[in-house]
Amino acid sequence: MSDIPVERKFSFLVSGDSISRGVIYDEDKGKYSVSQNSYVALVQKKLKGMVRNASRFGNTLIRGITRLGADIAKSPPDIVLIEYGGNDCDFAWDEIAAHPELPHEPQTDLSVFEGALKRTIAELKDEDIVPVLMTLPPLDADSFIKWVSKQDPRLESSIMRWLGSVTKIYWWQERYSSSIIAVAEETKTRWIDIRGAFLRTPDYTGLICRDGIHPNELGHELIAKTIVEYIAKDFSFLLSEGQEQIPA
C-alpha cells in the first residue's frame, strides 16, 4: 500500500483500446457501438475519485502511449489503468487471405510490445503515477476466424492455410497476455487478472461478442466486478461507501 496513500482523493486515467472504450458489436443494429454499460462506466460508479477514459478504438500500445503524455498533461492522474494487446497481436487478415504463402507480422512485435510497456511503466512511476496493468480477455477463436474471413468459406480456407490451426490464434493472443504478467512481475507493477476471471467462467464465449474478441455487456460486467474486487481487497478506501461489489 506504500504507493497508494490512504488519506487522499484520487483521479484515474484509463489508457486502452476499443475494449476500454466500451465498444461492443450490437446484434440488433448489425454494427459496432459504444455501450453505456462499459466496464469503465460501471467502475466509475463504485469509486470515490473521477475516472477519465482516454481509450480509443484501434489503439495499439505504441499509438496509445504516444498520446499518453498529452492525456496526462490535461489533468494529471494518480493511477493509470493500462489495457493493451488485442490490436497489437492482430494481423492484417485481408492480406493473409490474399497471400497465405507469404510471411505476415502482427501490428506490434511481441518484443517491441514488452519493451514499450516497460518504458511506459518506468515513465509513469518517475512521475509518481501508479500504473496498473490488465491481462487480455480470451478470444473465441472459432468466432474470430469466421469474423475476419467475413463468413466466406474461401477466405477462411485461405487464412487457415497460413494459420495451420484455429487454436494457434488463441495461443498467439495468449502470448501477449502472458507477457503483460511477466512485465508486471519484472517491474513490480500491479496487475489485474481479467483473463483468469473469464476462464473461470464455465463458458466464457457467452461473454464475447459475435466478432470473437470484444466482450459483450455481460463481459464488461465481469471486468468491472474483477477490478472492483481487486480494489476492495487491499484498497477499499478508494471505493464509495457500501460499493465494494458489483452483482454477478
Residues in the chain: 248
Rg of the chain (C-alpha set): 18
* Cα(242)–Cα(235) distance, integer angstroms: 14
Domain boundaries, the chain: 11-93+108-139+169-236
Q: pLDDT tens digits for 111-152?
A: 999 999 999 999 999 999 999 999 999 999 999 999 999 999
Q: pTM of the full predicted structure?
A: 0.93
Range 11-93+108-139+169-236 classified under CATH 3.40.50.1110: yes
* Cα(126)–Cα(103) distance, integer angstroms: 39
Where helices occur in 133-216 by DSSP H, the ranges are 141-148, 153-163, 166-187, 194-199
Does position 214 have pLDDT exceeding 60, yes or no? yes
Where helices occur in the chain by DSSP H, the ranges are 18-21, 39-44, 61-74, 93-98, 110-126, 141-148, 153-163, 166-187, 194-199, 217-234
